[in-house]
Amino acid sequence: MLFKTIALSIITVLLLLLALTRKPGHIKLLLALLSAAASIASMVFFILMQHTSGNPDAGQELVQLYAPCGIYVLIALFSLTVAALNRRKLQKDKAAKAAAKAEKAAAKAEKTTGQTDSGEN
């Protein structure tokens, strides 16, 4: 159980670092979401490990249980924030592409209409 917790924690950090170093795109979105899921899974393994080892020492709950769980939650929230910002950027880029395409089509239609009108005079 200890090995799983440590390995998953390392994977969580690596996924988050990969998500932070990528340009906005679908890969960055996927990495951020995987990092959030891995963080929650790491926290669950950590809590299970704490319970199997007899819970934290009396008076040490803050340092031995709540602080690590808080760090896992912060990493998950940060990963979800990165994913949300990336998704918003993707939607904004998609809308800009659609607007540019519509503008180009309107300009092309105007140009062909202008050529047809000038040919009739």
pLDDT tens digits for range 69-78: 999 999 999 9
In the chain, what are the domain boundaries? 2-88
- Confidence (pLDDT) at 119: 53
CA distance 62 to 60: 6
The upper half-sphere exposure of residue 47, i.e. CA atoms within 13 Å in the direction of its Cβ, equals 11
Measuring CA to CA, which residue among 105, 101, 83 is closest to residue 93? Answer: 101
Per-residue pLDDT of the chain (121 residues; tens, 9 = 90+): 788 889 999 999 999 999 999 988 899 999 999 999 999 999 999 988 888 888 777 777 788 888 999 999 999 999 999 999 999 999 999 999 999 999 998 888 888 887 765 555 5
CA distance 98 to 105: 10
- Confidence (pLDDT) at 118: 57
What are the Cα distances from residue 104, in Å, to 100, 112, 116? 6, 12, 18
Measuring CA to CA, which residue among 5, 15, 10 is closest to residue 79? Answer: 15
- Confidence (pLDDT) at 120: 55
CA distance 113 to 60: 79
Amino acid at 39: S
- Confidence (pLDDT) at 53: 82
